[in-house]
Amino acid sequence: MSQDLGIVDGLAQLSFLVQGALAKRAAVHDLSMTQVRLLGVLRDRRPGVNQLAALLELDKSSITGLVDRASARGLVTRVPSERDRRAVEVVLTDRGRALAEEVERDFGADVAVLVGGLTDPEQRRLSALASRVIETSQA
């Protein structure tokens, strides 16, 4: 049964599965993948526009519209920086935080289903291997 796809196709297809699940959960709340990443990144940071551009690997001009739309929905706000009158800090609102947490919960349920065919030890092994790969990439 379990036709091994090889590491390249396996990881590629798995990534499409996972991203697809996340995108669908996000779409329920009219969030694009980029919006999800924005909310995710803001959970533990209050970056300026330029830092945000670096974090999301986008052009800074793309950030303006992204934050505009999220801000129009009350998910984030622009707080003027104290030390630099040119700069702003982009900050998650309570509403934005709540929405991020909701999407995260829903997505977690999807992942549970996805890996439901694996035994608990296998799930732990997969989690550990994924973590190792991520860790490597950060070095």
Partner DNA sequence: TCAATTAGTTTGTGACACCAACTAATGTAG
Partner DNA sequence: CTACATTAGTTGGTGTCACAAACTAATTGA
Residue 59 is a binding residue for its own copies (CB under 8 A): no
Residues with Cβ within 8 Å of 90's Cβ and at least 6 positions away in sequence, in order, are 42, 46, 47, 48, 49, 52, 67, 76, 77, 78, 79
Residues numbered 18-37 forming contacts with its own copies, rule: CB under 8 A? 18-20, 22, 37
- Which option in DNA, its own copies, none does residue 98 bind, with CB closer than 5 to 8 A by kind? none
Tokens at 15, concatenated: 């990534």
Smallest distance from DNA to CB 26, Å: 9
Q: Where are the alpha helices (DSSP H) in the chain?
A: 6-28, 33-42, 49-56, 60-72, 94-114, 120-138
**How far apart, in whole angstroms, are the C-alpha atoms of residue 92 and residue 100?**
10
Residue 96 is a binding residue for DNA (CB under 7 A): no
Residue 114 is a binding residue for its own copies (CB under 8 A): yes
Residue 23 is a binding residue for DNA (CB under 7 A): no
Q: Which stretch binds DNA (CB under 7 A): 8-16, 30-38, 100-108, 118-126?
A: 30-38
Residue 80 is a binding residue for its own copies (CB under 8 A): no
Place of tokens 């702003």: 88
Q: Check if the beta carbon of residue 25 is closer than 8 Å to that of residue 73.
A: no
Q: What are phi and psi of 90, to 5 degrees?
A: -95, 125
Q: Residue 49 or residue 99: which is nearer to DNA going by CB?
A: 49
Q: Residue 71 or residue 123: which is nearer to its own copies going by CB?
A: 123
Which residues sit at the interface with DNA, rule CB under 7 A?
A: 31-35, 48-51, 57-67, 69, 78, 81, 84-89
